[in-house]
Structure 1
């Protein structure tokens, strides 16, 4: 059986990914601070193995403990494949360099970059001892390749995630494993992150009005549309390890 682990599964893209995978008869492990009852109900209705674990991804010790538990539970079931979606992300702090606060800087890097590295490292390590294939999807951003005023920390953490993805893919190829790792840029979606962006100030983020316009003119992508395109790619068996995929290419 295939198992999927999804961080940030309680809402937005993570929620949409979880619901689609359950429909595909794939067991789901949801990791977020709060549990999404709709996902739980859907899993029960579909008769799919489902588990939720609460985790604060900004706390290194908690990440290690929770994902060691997840890895132990899943690998002992000898799964056909493990799909790992490092989806959780934070955009704060939205502020220009010189006016940044220390705590949100550290939290951003912990959630967006350090947690995915720790989790991927753990699962690739465990996979060495089994015949289980691990496919990692790191949810990135267009901000990883384009500097945006007020988003220095977010841009940097996502750029780091892309480079980690590409480097890890090279290593897995050299080791001749069956593991794959990709990054995925989901575009501008109608999620809570966009609400956070729109509630910032022009002084901190000069493109604020443009992002408000995205919402007003209904230009934001729906999370389920993005999730379906991503899951279609992952389940196609044609994933190119190390590639940074963009939602625009998948929706052509």
Structure 2
């Protein structure tokens, strides 16, 4: 059976990717702080199994993924994909005015958790014939400095470098595993709403993001998810270490 493990499936892009993979007969394991009853109750070719977890809690994250690995090792797995989608945008604030607890949670969810999970994942399937696919969701903010997004831009830049390095390692080791970046660009999500609610003193580009919404420039998550799902369903098309963006499709 084909399996995909996806973080951040309670809503937004993660929920859309999960549903579309289930429609394609992929069995999805979703992780989020909140449940997604729509996915759990869905009558689709692929099943949905949910794990509640706070990815900012690294011990909880490690224990949860160990449980997922134990579950999967008891299944007949012919294909296994990992989509690390969960992320935080807050704190949206200039350095020197940030809450330390919020900053710590941000770094844990956006960067440390994906590193820990990738480490567990590659180790868990080391002695198997499975060719793994890992997709890490990034952002254009990784490549440019934005006032108030010092945390978000830095963690996404760190995730990009980490992904590229792991891809290089897997290539040189000849494992056949593929690790790549997916940039969804701007979507109509709760995160966008959080960005629009920021004070201009915290985020000087807030009016630009308000205009994205007013001018209907935010893509629906189902539209964005289809771009990623089409790629995931055609594993042969995935290039190890590639940066794959929605902008490549909607030019």
Q: Which moved more, 1:45-54 or 1:59-68?
A: 45-54
Alignment CA distance shift 1:47-1:219 (3 Å): closer
Give the 5 Å matches for 1:152-231. 152-231=150-229
Secondary structure (helix, strand or coil) at the match of 2:230 reads helix
State the secondary structure of the residue aligned to 1:15.
helix
Matched, 1:241 2:236: no
Instruction: Give the C-alpha shift of residue 46 in structure 1.
Output: 2.1
TM-score with structure 1 setting the length: 0.97
Match of 2:125 in 1: 127
Given candidates 122, 143, 149, the residue that maps to 2:147 is: 149
1:45-56 alignment, distance < 5 Å: 45-56=43-54
Query: Structure 2: how far apart are the matches of 1:112 and 1:86?
Result: 9
Task: State the partner residue of 1:62.
Answer: 60
Q: What is the alpha-carbon distance in structure 2 between the residues aligned to residue 119 and residue 211 of structure 1?
A: 32
Aligned Cα RMSD in Å? Answer: 1.0
- SS in structure 2 opposite 1:148? coil
Residue in structure 2 matched with residue 250 of structure 1 by the alignment: 249
1:115-158 deviation per Cα after TM superposition (whole angstroms, max 9, x unaligned): 11111111111111211121101000000111110000000000
Q: Output the CA distance in 2 between the equivalents of 1:226 and 1:47.
A: 21
Residue 28 of structure 2: SS of its match in structure 1? strand
Question: Which consecutive unaligned segments of at least 5 residues does structure 2 have?
Answer: none
Return the offset for 1:47: 4.7
Kindly indicate whether the alpha-carbon contact (under 8 Å) linking 2:199 and 2:206 is maintained by their aligned counterparts in 1: yes
